[in-house]
Amino acid sequence: MIGILLIAWGIPPEGGNTTDSVIEMKNPFSIGIFPKDVARQIPFGDFEVSYAVGSEVIGTKRDVKVIKKEKFSMSGEIEQDPDLVTGGFLTIYVKETNQEGSLIVKLNEKEMFNQKVTVGKVEIPIEKGDLQDYNIVEISISSSGWKFWVKPFYNLDKVDFGVNFYGNLEKAEEFQVYPEELRDFKSAEVYFKLKDYSGSGDLIINVNNHRIYKGQPSLDFHQSFDQYNVGLTSGLNSVSFTAESGSSYDIENSVLTIIREESAAKSRSFDFTVGSSDYNDNLEGTINFYISKTDYTGNLLVTITDTVGNKHPHAIPSYSEGEIEVIEFDKEDVDVGKNTMTFEATDGNFVISNVEIKPR
**Structure confidence by residue, pLDDT tens digits, 279-306:** 888 888 999 999 999 999 888 999 999 9
- Considering the chain, what is the average pLDDT of its residues? 88
Of the candidates 167, 195, 215, which is a domain's last residue? 167
Tell me, what CATH number does 327's domain have?
2.60.120.260
Question: For position 149, what pLDDT does the model report?
Answer: 65
Of the candidates 262, 293, 315, which is a domain's last residue? 262
Q: Tell me the C-alpha distance between 74 and 78, whole Å.
A: 14
Residue 233 near residue 176, CB atoms below 8 Å: no
Residue with more model confidence, 247 or 257: 257
Q: What is the pLDDT of residues 52-94, one digit of tens each?
A: 777 889 999 999 999 887 889 999 999 877 888 999 999 999 9
Is residue 78 domain-shared with residue 92, that is, in the same domain?
Answer: yes
Q: Tell me the C-alpha distance between 74 and 205, whole Å.
A: 41
Asked if residue 33 belongs to a domain, the reply is: no
Is residue 143 domain-shared with residue 199, that is, in the same domain?
Answer: no
Task: Domain of residue 195: give its range.
Answer: 38-49+169-262
Is residue 291 domain-shared with residue 352, that is, in the same domain?
Answer: yes
Q: Tell me the C-alpha distance between 82 and 42, whole Å.
A: 28
Asked if residue 242 belongs to a domain, the reply is: yes
Q: Tell me the C-alpha distance between 328 and 312, whole Å.
A: 12
Q: Tell me the C-alpha distance between 110 and 214, whole Å.
A: 46
Q: What pLDDT band is residue 341 in, cutting at 50, 70 and 90?
A: very high
Phi, psi of 7 (to 5 degrees): -70, -35
Dihedral sign computed on CA atoms, order 174, 175, 177, 178: positive
The total of structural domains in the chain comes to 3
Q: What is the pLDDT of residues 150-167, one digit of tens each?
A: 788 999 999 999 999 887
Is residue 314 domain-shared with residue 341, that is, in the same domain?
Answer: yes
Is residue 184 domain-shared with residue 244, that is, in the same domain?
Answer: yes
Distances (CA, A) of 58 to 21, 104, 150, 202, 275: 86, 21, 35, 27, 89
Is residue 311 domain-shared with residue 220, that is, in the same domain?
Answer: no
- If one counts every other C-beta atom within 10 angstroms of the C-beta of residue 71, the result is 12
